[in-house]
Amino acid sequence: MAKRWRFEGSQHVIGAGAMTLRGVMDGVMKNMDGDDGRHVIHLSQGDPSAFPSFRTAAFAEDAVCAAVRSAQFNGYSSTAGLPAARSAVAEYLSKDLPYDLSSDDVFLTIGCTQALEAILTALARPGANILLPRPGYPDYEARAAFAGLEVRHFDLDPENDWEADLAAVEALGDDHTVAIVVINPGNPCGNVFKYDHLKKIAEMARNMGILVIADEVYGHLTFGSNPFVPMGVFASIAPIITLGSLSKRWIVPGWRIGWLVLNDLHGILTKHGIVDSIKGFLNISSDPVTFIQAALPEILLKTPTDFYDKIVSMFRESAEKCYKLSQQIPCISCPTKPQGCMFLMIKLNLSMLEGICCKLAKEESVILLPGTGLGLKNWLRVTFAVEASHIDEGFRRIRAFCERHAISKKETTLSYYVESPVFDYIYV
């Protein structure tokens, strides 16, 4: 027996891990009573791949099989990715831009997750801070905390189509601010920013001398009146780094492939060492699976458009259904109808419903994501990327729960932005 074991799990890592979406969901799931005989309705995670009607395009599956069968992609790829795959991403994204990207602008990553890890790590210098949206995607907070990058939150306004108040954003920054993150189409709000709002963000970034990180993992998954405009359109105004992946549009989050793309028309990112820093990060981490990279050119450039159309029309219908059902339950409301992405945010009108996510999981076997984990208390995130029958059953149970617990008819307005710089994850 050793007289004393000298190792201890890192609190730094445990703390950062608890902030991620997975960490927040673990907190909700541990309240489940086990099997109450009812089927669990998961309206928390945006991964519809389990449902037969959301199966990816047969074309994409064939491209992966062909890459495996060719036996040419069993080795390591180069750090930035296979040249053909990088150039396919450049061509795919250039279709929506007023200029052409080159394959050198593209770095392939293990999903959009590794792309955000790469850029946040590349930017982290002592004292630097980054502007993140609230509500947002908590993996940014977790990765920033892990990399030692200070986080400053700007609020997205539910009364104004979830747009940001740009004067307030600018006031939040200082000489140590290095970047702003824009998630569009928006997770968790299901909003799609207008051209003018995006342009103003780029202009603000230029004034502040900061980089725009455009998370477009839901790019093209839009079905409302605002079309999807890639942030890269404004690269002549300020340097942009675009992040994306196959996970959401092709419904294959398990394939783990994404990209980090430089929209840097004036070479500012190269000049300031950001490109070398990204390369350094990728050199010390692993690469996406080689045969999936090999299938990318086929998938990105040749997937039949009826596949995209089918997925978007299913999301349009299920978003509509979710929005309508949420209007019919008195203690919740949804101020803004979603226009894209896979989620909508629902507001709780009665304070006694605090802690609702754990109770709903326990009593009704319905899993929702608490807004607390996203920076908004007294809100919930619901995904509509599930079979329609699950939406019906899920909302039936939410209604039953609300009726059982509503003791007061009086509506109260609650404050909702979570104040602490790093969210309070305990109260779910």
Ligand X SMILES: *Cc1c(COP(=O)(O)O)cnc(C)c1O
Residues of this chain that bind ligand X (CB under 6 A): 111-113, 137, 183, 187, 215, 217, 245, 247, 253, 258
Give, rounded to a whole angstrom, the gap between the first and last alpha carbons of the chain: 42
**Are the CB atoms for 293 and 81 separated by under 8 Å?**
yes
Torsion of CA 183, 188, 192, 197, to 10 degrees: -50
Q: Closest distance between ligand X and the C-beta of residue 282, in Å? A: 15
Q: Which is nearer to ligand X, 113 or 365 (CB)?
A: 113
The smaller minimum CB distance to ligand X, of residues 111 and 394, is found at 111
Question: Rounded to the nearest whole angstrom, what is the least distance from the CB of residue 396 to ligand X in the complex?
Answer: 27
Pick 303 or 365: Cβ nearer ligand X: 303
Tell me the residue nearest to ligand X as measured from the CB.
111
Contacts of 22 (CB under 8 A, 6+ apart): none
Measured CA to CA, the distance from residue 318 to residue 227 in angstroms comes to 19
The tokens of 249 are what?
């549009």
Looking at beta carbons only, is 186 or 402 nearer to ligand X? 186
Please state the closest distance from residue 411 (CB atom) to ligand X, in A.
31
Distances in Å between the alpha carbon of 62 and those of 25, 55, 302, 307? 34, 13, 12, 14
Cβ 233 to ligand X shortest distance, Å: 19
Q: Of 115 and 124, which CB lies nearer to ligand X in the complex structure?
A: 115
Rounded to the nearest whole angstrom, what is the least distance from the CB of residue 347 to ligand X in the complex? 21
Distance CA 104, CA 417 (A): 40
Nearer to ligand X, 142 or 217 (CB): 217
Cβ 137 to ligand X shortest distance, Å:
4
Residue 187 CB, nearest approach to ligand X (Å): 4
CA–CA separation, 233 and 249 (whole Å) = 20
Handedness of CA 47, 253, 186, 233 (dihedral sign): negative
Q: Tell the smallest beta-carbon distance from residue 1 to ligand X (Å).
A: 43
What is the three-class DSSP state of 376?
Answer: strand
Residue 135 or 239 having the CB closest to ligand X:
135
Would you call 107 helix, strand, or coil by DSSP? Answer: strand
Min CB(112)–ligand X separation in Å: 3
Nearest residue (CB) to ligand X, 109 versus 263:
109
Which residue, 292 or 329, is less far from ligand X as judged by CB? 292
In angstroms, the CA 31 to CA 8 distance is: 27
* Tokens matching residue 234: 């404004």
Bridge partners of 344, per DSSP, are 382
**CA separation for the pair 191, 184 (Å, rounded):** 7
Closest alpha carbon to 188 in 380, 318, 427 = 380
